[in-house]
């Protein structure tokens, strides 16, 4: 049975397992209908022109893992931040793992969606925010909504500055021969609050994993968000990451996406500016090889005056890998004095690697500053010779230049342990031991 | 130390050097002069191992080894250094990290232990002082936004750090004002000893007032057409290059 049909027909079984009386369930029911109508996206859609899910959809995925696997911390410790105190929300094959997690219910809620969707104390927040920013025509988001049940739930009340970062990790243990996961995250940062979040998806075996994730993030007035996505999964995995950010006035939201792993990764990153004097930052480093594909689709919707957005994506492609960058910026008629910047720089290290880069600017206001730039090139041969003439071997010289190329994206990482973790991943990815610290 | 024997070099099929012969012994300073387009910079690039140039004939013997087939980094590991006429700007790598990486790469290639951080720091400070380089300068991105003088000073700083056996200074004097030139020349003179050698590639005689060569060679159309002592440089300054063709 095609995966879409299997999903639709399994919705009944899914309903046996949840409270169908809750108001959220109407949203799920509508969403499955919508998915049934839309189906999975295909290459005929402009937004999916370069990325085909055909192969991914052919696997026979288990939709709900049957048993809870227990993970030993010492076996997965490398996937957490080193020497950093943090809140932790850990999910294993779609189930919350309370042993590996460190939640909070004190002054802030760092807990799980299944609780938030069912308990009365969360009802008002859920009512206000759940499924409010989703793009209704996006079939994958609808699919996730239909099966929304588990994921991270974070609520930071007014003026709270969270000292410790929150780590959200979704593990897959391979106890099913192929598994589909649909985590649903809701993050609400109230006025004046501040938080740092690090999210990753990590498979522990080579069994195929198909993750269709949705995160809704609300950033209140004058609130600050630093969100880091580490995409360094195994080559047997596919990740569709749908992230929706709504920002209130004077807020600041930064998302860094580090894409190194996975067979196919699609990031749909959508920013909606709901007030004035908002700052939105989207940065990314993509380093892939073999037959990997990473597709960044970004949207910044400037709907109010005096706001800014900054996009800076760097890509380094080798093997026969493919990159896609599609950056859409909409500036509404009333969004005067908008400053919108977009930069996408790429290096192709091999003849067989590909990058499809497309800026998409729709500007309806007349007093705005919008700029976009895109470069595609090779490593600078003169620079390479310069480094080698000082005794640095070719491979390390290339790594050093690659590093330098990506450096300004790394510079803005605010968690030191995360920065060094990413540097290590990059060095690993480039196949060198780097004896320097940038 | 270095013997160049009947060296022919082409770029994209076009011959640039047409049979260069040169002998440089330890302790010597050689100046190679010549008009624009005579092949001076090609010669230095070829000795340093730039793959953009094709050696069609001849040998480069360095410390009794033919280095024609060696990669640029292998030549550097063996103690060959070239000061670039146009040092490349590399945003994102600081001067300090660059030089640390270079030194340790060379040590590793020679199967020696990496330099401990404190020793490295001390050496960096010492050599920066020699070249009158501000410490803030060292944490800037390599050559990015440097003035012409700063770039050249940074090249000689790297030479001081790496302590090569053979240094080729390609147009190190171009773009320098007289004060910067004195600092650079003083640095080179202090680094000079009986065990190393320097080849100065220059268009003008000015540099040779400060770094005095043992031999002067004149390059014209890819060949050394005249060799002599330091007085040859003065003669060239007076008469220009025309009389030599």
| Cβ-proximal residues to A243 (8 Å cutoff; 6+ apart), any chain | A214, A215, A217, A255, A267, A268, A269, A270
Residue A257 has pLDDT above 90, yes or no: yes
Give the pLDDT mean for A400-414. 88
Give the pLDDT mean for A128-133. 96
- Residue finishing a domain among A359, A378, A397: A378
A94: region left, alpha or beta (phi > 0 left; psi from -120 to 50 alpha)? left
Query: Which two three-digit tokens encode residue A345?
Result: 């720089």
- End-to-end, the C-alpha distance of chain A in Å comes to 52
Instruction: Please name the member of B48, B100, B114 whose beta carbon is closest to the beta carbon of A389.
Output: B48
Q: Is A267 helix (H, G, I), strand (E, B) or coil?
A: strand
pLDDT of res. A165: 97
Express each pLDDT in B172-183 by its tens digit.
Answer: 888 888 888 999
- How many alpha carbons lie under 13 Å from residue A345 in its C-beta half-sphere? 14
Identify whether residues A129 and A184 lie together within a single domain. Answer: yes
pLDDT of res. A32: 97
Q: What residues are paired with A273 via a beta bridge?
A: A247, A302
For chain A, the farthest-separated pair of C-alpha atoms sits apart, in whole angstroms, at 71
Residue with tokens 């600017």: A361
Strand bridging mode A339-348 / A369-377: parallel
How far, in Å, CA of A57 to CA of A3, rounded? Answer: 6
Express each pLDDT in B130-182 by its tens digit.
Answer: 998 988 889 899 999 998 889 999 999 999 999 999 999 999 888 888 888 99
Instruction: Please name the member of B72, B93, B101 whose beta carbon is closest to the beta carbon of A385.
Output: B72
pLDDT band of residue A161 (cuts 50, 70, 90) is very high
A contact test, residue of B48, B74, B105, B117 with most A CBs within 10 A: B105
Is A390 in the B-facing interface, judged by CB distances under 8 Å? Answer: yes
Residues of B in contact with A396 (CB under 8 A): 101, 105
- Residue finishing a domain among A378, A407, A423: A378
- Assess if residue A79 is contained within a domain: no
Q: Identify the H or E element spanning A215.
A: strand A209-219
Identify whether residues A226 and A239 lie together within a single domain. Answer: yes
Identify whether residues A169 and A195 lie together within a single domain. Answer: yes
Residue A437 has pLDDT above 60, yes or no: no
Identify whether residues A132 and A278 lie together within a single domain. Answer: yes
Is the separation of the CB atoms in B77 and A391 below 8 Å?
Answer: yes
Q: What residues are paired with A348 via a beta bridge?
A: A317
- End-to-end, the C-alpha distance of chain B in Å comes to 29
- Assess if residue A122 is contained within a domain: yes
Fold (CATH) for B2-244: Rossmann fold (3.40.50)
Q: Is B216 helix (H, G, I), strand (E, B) or coil?
A: strand
Is A381 in the B-facing interface, judged by CB distances under 8 Å? Answer: yes
pLDDT band of residue A434 (cuts 50, 70, 90) is low
Handedness of CA B175, B179, B180, B185 (dihedral sign): positive
Q: Is B37 helix (H, G, I), strand (E, B) or coil?
A: coil
How far, in Å, CA of A179 to CA of A91, rounded? Answer: 14
pLDDT band of residue A435 (cuts 50, 70, 90) is low
Residue A270 has pLDDT above 70, yes or no: yes
Residue A184 has pLDDT above 80, yes or no: yes
Is A397 in the B-facing interface, judged by CB distances under 8 Å? Answer: yes
Q: Is A225 helix (H, G, I), strand (E, B) or coil?
A: strand
CB-count burial class (<10 Å; 0-12, 13-18, 19+) for A245: buried
Residue B129 has pLDDT above 50, yes or no: yes
pLDDT of res. A438: 44
Contact A381 B52 (CB under 8 A): yes
Q: Which of A81-90, A196-205, A283-292, A394-403 has the lowest mean pLDDT?
A: A394-403
Q: What share of residues in chain B are helix, strand, coil (percent, to 5)?
A: 40, 30, 35
Q: Is A86 helix (H, G, I), strand (E, B) or coil?
A: coil
pLDDT of res. B149: 87
Residue with tokens 């040779």: B208
Q: Which domain holds residue A32?
A: 3-73+91-378
- Assess if residue A116 is contained within a domain: yes
- Residue finishing a domain among A327, A352, A378: A378
- Assess if residue A68 is contained within a domain: yes
| Cβ-proximal residues to B91 (8 Å cutoff; 6+ apart), any chain | A404, A407, A408, B141, B142, B144
DSSP B84-130: -SSPPPEEEEEHHHHHHHHHHHHHHHTT-PPPPHHHHHHHHHHHHHH
| Assembly ipTM | 0.95
CA A292-A387-A345 angle, to 5 degrees, is: 40
Identify whether residues A395 and A254 lie together within a single domain. Answer: no
List the single residue in B with minimal CA-CA distance to A437. Answer: B97
Is the separation of the CB atoms in A229 and A199 below 8 Å?
Answer: yes
- Assess if residue A80 is contained within a domain: no
Query: DSSP code of A69?
Result: P
Residue A433 has pLDDT above 70, yes or no: no
Q: What share of residues in chain A are helix, strand, coil (percent, to 5)?
A: 25, 35, 40
**Torsion angle, CA of A63/A67/A73/A76, rounded to 10 degrees?**
-30
CA-based nearest residue to B142, from A302, A283, A158, A438: A438
Identify whether residues A386 and A262 lie together within a single domain. Answer: no
Identify whether residues A308 and A391 lie together within a single domain. Answer: no
pLDDT of res. A411: 87
CA-based nearest residue to A242, from A331, A155, A151, A315: A151
Query: Which two three-digit tokens encode residue A52?
Result: 């085909």
Strand bridging mode B166-170 / B197-202: parallel
How far, in Å, CA of A410 to CA of A165, rounded? Answer: 17
How far, in Å, CA of A397 to CA of A386, rounded? Answer: 9
Within the 83-142 window of chain B, which residues sit less than 8 Å (CB to CB) from chain A?
84, 87-88, 90-94, 97-98, 100-102, 104-106, 109, 114
Residues of A in contact with B167 (CB under 8 A): none
List the single residue in A with minimal CA-CA distance to B95. Answer: A438
Identify whether residues A350 and A386 lie together within a single domain. Answer: no
Identify whether residues A287 and A240 lie together within a single domain. Answer: yes
Mean pLDDT for chain A overall? 94
- Assess if residue A86 is contained within a domain: no
Identify whether residues A434 and A315 lie together within a single domain. Answer: no
**Reading across the β-sheet that carries B80-83, which strands appear in turn?**
B80-83, B166-170, B197-202, B29-33, B215-220, B223-228
pLDDT of res. A424: 87
pLDDT band of residue A429 (cuts 50, 70, 90) is confident
Distance of CA A319 to the CA centre of its chain: 24
Is the separation of the CB atoms in A332 and A299 below 8 Å?
Answer: no
Identify whether residues A148 and A240 lie together within a single domain. Answer: yes
Instruction: Please name the member of B76, B92, B100 whose beta carbon is closest to the beta carbon of A404.
Output: B92
Our count of domains for chain A comes to 2
Query: Which two three-digit tokens encode residue A382?
Result: 């003169």
Q: Which of A195-204, A223-232, A394-403 has the lowest mean pLDDT?
A: A394-403
Identify whether residues A399 and A351 lie together within a single domain. Answer: no
Residue A71 has pLDDT above 80, yes or no: yes
Q: Identify the H or E element spanning B13.
A: none
CA-based nearest residue to A211, from A134, A133, A263, A273: A263
Residues of A in contact with B72 (CB under 8 A): 385, 388-389
Per-domain residue ranges of chain B: 2-244
pLDDT of res. A419: 92
List the single residue in B with minimal CA-CA distance to A400. Answer: B93
Contact A396 B51 (CB under 8 A): no
């Amino acid at each position: 049975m095609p995966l879409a049909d299997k999903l639709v027909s399994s919705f009944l079984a899914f309903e046996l397992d949840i409270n169908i009386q809750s108001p959220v369930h109407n949203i799920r029911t509508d969403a499955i209908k919508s998915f049934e109508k839309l189906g999975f996206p295909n290459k005929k859609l402009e937004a999916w022109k370069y990325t085909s899910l055909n192969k991914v959809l052919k696997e026979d995925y288990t939709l709900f893992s049957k048993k809870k696997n227990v993970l030993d911390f010492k076996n997965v410790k490398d996937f957490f931040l080193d020497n950093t105190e943090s809140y932790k929300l850990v999910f294993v094959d779609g189930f919350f793992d309370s042993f590996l997690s460190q939640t909070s219910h004190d002054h802030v809620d760092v807990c799980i969606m299944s609780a938030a969707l069912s308990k009365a104390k969360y009802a008002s927040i859920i009512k206000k925010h759940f499924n409010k920013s989703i793009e209704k025509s996006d079939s994958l988001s609808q699919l996730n909504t239909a099966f929304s049940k588990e994921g991270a739930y974070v609520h930071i009340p007014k003026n709270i500055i969270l000292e410790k970062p929150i780590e959200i990790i979704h593990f897959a243990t391979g106890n099913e021969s192929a598994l589909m996961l649909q985590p649903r995250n809701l993050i609400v940062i109230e006025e004046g609050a501040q938080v740092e979040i690090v999210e990753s998806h990590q498979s522990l075996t080579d069994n195929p994993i198909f993750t269709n994730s949705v995160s809704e993030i609300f950033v209140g007035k004058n609130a600050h968000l630093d969100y880091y996505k580490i995409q360094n999964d195994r080559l047997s995995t596919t990740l569709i990451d749908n992230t929706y950010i709504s920002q209130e006035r004077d807020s600041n939201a930064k998302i860094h996406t580090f894409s190194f792993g996975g067979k196919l990764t699609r990031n749909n990153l959508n920013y909606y500016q709901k007030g004035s004097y908002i700052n939105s930052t989207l940065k990314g480093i993509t380093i892939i090889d073999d037959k990997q594909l990473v597709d960044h689709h970004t949207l910044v919707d400037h709907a109010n005056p005096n706001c800014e957005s900054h996009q800076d994506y760097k890509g380094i492609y080798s093997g026969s890998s493919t990159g896609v960058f599609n950056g859409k910026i909409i500036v509404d008629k009333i969004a005067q004095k908008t400053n919108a910047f977009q930069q996408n720089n790429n290096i192709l290290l091999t003849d067989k690697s590909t990058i499809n880069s497309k800026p998409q600017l729709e500007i309806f206001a007349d007093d705005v500053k919008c700029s976009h730039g895109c470069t595609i090139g090779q490593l600078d041969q003169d620079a390479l010779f310069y480094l080698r003439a000082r005794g640095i071997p070719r491979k390390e010289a290339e790594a050093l230049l690659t590093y330098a190329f990506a450096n300004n994206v790394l510079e803005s990482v605010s968690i030191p342990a995360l920065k060094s973790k990413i540097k290590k991943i990059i060095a690993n990815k480039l196949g060198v031991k780097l004896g320097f610290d940038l | 130390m270095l013997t160049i024997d009947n060296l022919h070099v082409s770029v994209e099929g076009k011959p640039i050097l047409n049979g260069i012969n040169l002998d440089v012994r330890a302790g010597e300073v050689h100046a190679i002069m010549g008009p624009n387009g005579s092949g001076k910079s090609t010669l230095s690039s070829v000795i340093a191992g730039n793959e953009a140039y094709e050696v069609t004939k001849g040998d480069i013997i360095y410390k009794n080894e033919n280095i024609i087939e060696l990669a640029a980094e292998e030549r550097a590991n063996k103690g060959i250094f070239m000061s670039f006429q146009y040092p490349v700007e590399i945003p994102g790598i600081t001067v300090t990290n660059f030089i640390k990486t270079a030194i340790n790469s060379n040590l590793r290639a020679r199967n020696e232990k990496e330099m401990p951080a404190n020793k490295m720091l001390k050496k960096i400070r010492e050599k920066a002082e020699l070249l009158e380089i501000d410490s803030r300068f060292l944490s800037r991105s390599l050559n990015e936004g440097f003035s012409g003088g700063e770039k050249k000073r940074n090249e000689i700083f790297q030479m001081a750090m790496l302590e090569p056996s053979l240094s080729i200074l390609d147009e190190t004097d171009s773009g320098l004002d007289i004060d910067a030139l004195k600092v650079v020349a003083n640095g080179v003179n202090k680094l000079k000893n009986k065990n190393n050698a320097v080849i100065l590639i220059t268009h003008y005689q000015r540099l040779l007032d400060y770094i005095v060569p043992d031999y002067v060679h004149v390059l014209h159309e890819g060949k050394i057409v005249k060799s002599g002592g330091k007085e040859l440089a003065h003669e060239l300054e007076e008469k220009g290059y025309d009389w030599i063709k």
